[in-house]
Structure 1
Amino acid sequence: MHFERFENSEDYEKVKGAYIINREMINRAKKGIIILHPLPRVGEISTDVDDYEGAAYFRQAHNGLYVRMALLALITGRT
């Protein structure tokens, strides 16, 4: 959870670290799940999940780069 989503730091501190996806959770989950995240991660996803085949957040970020580039080209008239 990102700090900027909370109205005050006390609320953030209450839930910080309460929702973390890790390898143990993945092993108990339904087979074939896909994990998406907008990045950057702030402790919500453990690095031991990065090599999981359903971890799609790096591809998601990579594809998002090209979408943002296309949108910038479109709005600046450089298509």
Structure 2
Amino acid sequence: MSKLSADERNHLDKGKFAFPKERKEPLENASHVRNAIARFNQVKGVSDAERDAAWKLIKAAKKFDVEVSEANWREIGK
């Protein structure tokens, strides 16, 4: 995965994160999208509504050609 420095991460617009309020799981490129999916269930301190919103952002990141087979986040790992 391509790494973001702390400075790069701090300068990202909130809209570039799956969880913008918490600034967790950046969605800058295909590698970050795949990582956000892999770590999705590990994100702490977020509501189901926030997870629903984050999943929509991840699904919208198909512009990076990442195949997302799950219809929603509750299907991850099943």
The TM-score by the shorter chain falls in which range?
A: under 0.3
Specify which structure has the higher proportion of helix: 2
Q: TM-score, normalised by structure 2?
A: 0.26
**Quick check: which has more Rg, 1 or 2?**
1
Q: TM-score, normalised by structure 1?
A: 0.26
